[in-house]
Amino acid sequence: MLDIRALRQDGDAIREALKKRGYDLDLAGFESLDARRKEADMRSQDLQAQRKKASKEVGELIKSGMDVDAAKAKVAETLKTLDAELDQEVARAKAVQEEIREFLMGVPNVPVDEVPAGNDEDDNVEVRQWGTPTELSFTAKDHVDLGEAFSQGHLDFERASKLSGARFAVMSGQLARLHRALIDFMLDTHAVEHGYQELYVPYLVGPEALRGTGQLPKFEEDLFKMESERELYLIPTAEVPVTNLAADEILEADSMPRRYVCHTPCFRSEAGSHGKDTRGMIRQHQFEKVELVQLVPADQSDQALEDLTGHAEAILQKLGLPYRVVILCGGDLGFSAAKTYDIEVWLPSQGRYREISSCSSFRDYQARRMQARWRNPETGKPELVHTLNGSGLAVGRTLVAILENYQNEDGSVTVPEALRPYMRGLERLS
């Protein structure tokens, strides 16, 4: 959520900055709401002053000769009238405050200056490449054909569809084992080598957690909501429960910065993506992800994004998978993000790079929504933390990349050396 003070002071500049992401801020609408809020506050203060003055009039009325009971009755009647008016104004002010909050909840984050202008993914700007795109001496098969042909466990979309409908998968045997190996490998790398604290979190969260990270209220159609006595949603990413651990808390300086790694399944309705990536595991309703989350002081925010992105890249480097890093343009930027790097892995069957991780800085946008703060030791006062997260990595898409980049002409797939200890020495999926 944007800082309301900044919106009052620099509304025109914020409106102009938001145009980079194709968002037209209704500044006049905000100013109208804010004027109503100010009017209600001033009226409430005036009524409170009148009430304070009226409560002191009993003595003055008695001094003027009025009977004590009559004086008290007159003042009580005046106070009753003022209290009724005050209750109305307080309720009006509260209602306007809620309108302002809902307005701010619908405004996306302001892109930082280095975010390039552009409308969609075609306008994203490449930052760097690692490795050489895999060139095969034979016609590349995609992960679906490879996975369905394995004799010792395979990829099964037909039976998954029988269970749950489209965009689900069943994996068995060696393939399921490789999928699990990837999760363990990623968690070990990030926890041991990169210094993240491993977490286990609930897969169901309430609406406040989703408001805190920005999925609600704007993107409810992308979520799976439970039909139960409690209002609960399946998490779209571990970002939601992990980041919200700091909601309504003041973190002490000696515990900062905080780095978390967490593996969870992720559940997304993929609303609006009909017809996109319908084949295979690229875009599914249920998938696994190892998520990286950082909570840092503001002055460490920029470097933290570079570090986090590098940690996600390290997984691909250890696996020997070619990739590139792009910075997202304004039109492709996520709702809550101020800056995002996408890491895209090379897929031989498609002859192009595909997203495997998004690493984002949200500055204090999420923290303001969830009131996540830390105590600055120099001032002794609480300040909003800066939040960051990124996939480290999306497990299913990493599996896809391994199948395609390590495929052999006979349909077998070589297991990357980094994963063989997690596969009990298995060198090839056949």
Which residues does the annotation place in the binding site? 237-239, 268-270, 291, 355-358, 391
Annotated binding site for ATP: 268-270, 355-358
Active site residues: 268, 283, 355, 358, 397
Asked if residues 230 and 347 have their Cβ atoms less than 8 Å apart, the reply is: no
Helix (H) / strand (E) element for 382: namely: strand 382-384
Cα-to-chain-centroid distance, residue 253: 24
Which of 344, 221, 348, 355 has the alpha carbon at shortest distance from 276?
355
Annotated binding site for L-serine: 237-239, 291, 391
Asked if residues 86 and 294 have their Cβ atoms less than 8 Å apart, the reply is: no
Rounded to the nearest 10°, the torsion over CA 255, 184, 268, 296 is: 20
Cα–Cα distance between 337 and 325 in angstroms, integer? Answer: 17
Q: Is the peptide bond before 257 cis (omega within 30 degrees of 0)?
A: yes
Helices (H) then strands (E): counts for the chain: 13, 18
